[in-house]
Amino acid sequence: MTFFPGSVSGIAADAKSLKHRSAKLKGQASSVASIGKVTSWDGKDAGAAKSTLTRLKHCLSHAASSYESAGKALSTFAGELKTCEEQYTAYVKDKAEWIREGYSKAQAEKRFEGLVAGLIATYWYDVAKACKKLTSDANEAHYYGGKGPFSTASVLKGTRSGVKALKGQVDLSDAGLDPLSVSQGQIGDCYLLSTIMSLENSAKGRAFIRSHVKWNASKDGYDVTLYINGKAHTYLVKSGYAQGAGSGYDHSANIATVYERAVGEAIGKGDLGDGGSGREAFELLTGKNAVYKTQGSAALAASALKNGDSVTAANLGGSVEVKAKVQDPGGSWRTETVDIVGGHQYAVLGTDKNGDVYVANPWGPANAADTGGKIRLTAHQFQSIFDSVEYGKL
């Protein structure tokens, strides 16, 4: 069960440890408060000392609350994980029973995979919501940033921190080149990843990727062709970046891992994570010209998609909270309040006859802004949020 990050007992032990620390800090805060009430010392120095002790008490109390909140979040996570593992075990037993009842192994496996996919989608959605709520108020432990003593990123990202070996892990089939599986790591290259997603969104784009990313057995890596000022250059990629882009829930290596490292080799890792535009990324990946329009027009996005272009859109302002339909990894749609993140690039994956636009966040599955999947925005929502539409044709 590699998609489950961590053990129930280990996470529960960490939760207990955090709660114990919280209790100790509360005790220390109480002790400091009692010292501050000493009345046998008067004068200017006594006042300064008492003021310092009061501030120290508040700091200790705040730290105690932070650790307590972190412990609650981990306890919730352990409980969700335990429930998920128990259900998974039950599905394994069910699969054996289906075969005994007359299902073929292939039929039983297909049914099993469908149930597990739904289980994972529900699990990640519930845990992301719970951890975000329990930690953000007390210690500002946001999903991306982790400013407090506890960060949901360290829990939900599971195995994402390691450098990714590539051989045998990168699936270049149509199933492997799924834009919704792209998951951004800790590098600020949403402009690049959303552009990769936009290429994966069409058969022509997937064919282009396969023709520009080739396994080099003699060098144990991938030869990746990029275009610098329109001229083709090949870069050897043998591993991804630590805490870089990956795929899905377990953040395993995928095409985004490979391209991210290749672009980092081409322009420098610092510039890779320093932001950019979808237009620049498209031209770097394909050698073709792209268009940058400073108007987030739904009609423009629809026209570009109809023309066969790869399309991205940027929200250059602040984050916007909207109610929209969101598709989970299992394919079901639900109405949710989501955050369209500010200073962030999204892939535009489709439109419909009503003028609605389907976008996707390169943060990928289980992110705390929208939990992953396609987001269906009305034309009005799209145009009021996005400042630019960028597109190019292969």
How far apart CA 38 and CA 41 sit, in angstroms, is 7
Same domain, 133 and 245: no
Instruction: List phi, psi (to 5°) of 250.
Output: -90, 0
Q: Are 117 and 329 in contact (CB under 8 A)?
A: yes
CA dihedral 381, 385, 390, 394 (to 10 degrees): -40
Same domain, 236 and 280: yes
How far apart CA 157 and CA 5 sit, in angstroms, is 8
Sheet holding 374-377, edge to edge: 290-293, 388-392, 310-315, 344-351, 357-360, 374-377, 320-327, 333-340
Report the pLDDT value the prediction gives residue 144, as an integer from 0 to 100: 32
Q: Are 76 and 126 in contact (CB under 8 A)?
A: no
Q: Is residue 93 part of a domain?
A: yes
Q: Are 367 and 355 in contact (CB under 8 A)?
A: no
Same domain, 145 and 198: no
Same domain, 89 and 138: yes
Q: Is residue 53 part of a domain?
A: yes
Report the pLDDT value the prediction gives residue 232, as an integer from 0 to 100: 97
Same domain, 303 and 275: no
Domain that holds residue 188: 179-289
- At residue 273, the 3 state secondary structure works out as coil
* Among candidate residues 262, 289, 316, the one where a domain is terminated: 289
pTM: 0.63
Domain count, the chain: 3
Q: Classify strands 320-327 and 333-340 as parallel, antiparallel or unpaired.
A: antiparallel
The CA radius of gyration of the chain, in Å to the nearest whole number, is 25
Same domain, 225 and 338: no
Same domain, 282 and 326: no
Token digits of residue 272:
């890779």
Same domain, 96 and 123: yes
Cα distance between the two ends of the chain: 39
Q: Is residue 163 part of a domain?
A: no
How far apart CA 271 and CA 280 sit, in angstroms, is 12
* Among candidate residues 125, 156, 187, the one where a domain is terminated: 156
* Among candidate residues 266, 289, 312, the one where a domain is terminated: 289
Q: Is residue 384 part of a domain?
A: yes
How far apart CA 15 and CA 21 sit, in angstroms, is 10
Same domain, 215 and 148: no
Residue type at 142 in one-letter notation: H
How far apart CA 324 and CA 370 sit, in angstroms, is 10
Report the pLDDT value the prediction gives residue 336, as an integer from 0 to 100: 87
Q: Is residue 220 part of a domain?
A: yes
Tens-level pLDDT at each residue, the chain (394 residues): 444 556 777 777 777 877 787 788 788 777 776 765 655 666 667 667 777 777 777 777 767 777 777 777 777 777 877 887 888 888 888 888 888 888 888 888 888 877 776 666 666 655 555 555 554 443 333 333 333 333 333 333 333 334 556 666 788 999 899 999 999 888 889 999 999 999 999 999 999 999 999 999 888 899 999 999 999 999 999 989 887 898 866 668 899 999 999 999 999 988 898 888 999 999 999 999 999 998 778 899 999 999 999 999 999 888 899 999 998 766 778 898 898 988 899 999 999 989 999 999 999 887 778 878 899 999 999 999 999 999 999 9
Q: Are 244 and 188 in contact (CB under 8 A)?
A: no
Token digits of residue 104:
């073929």
Same domain, 283 and 303: no
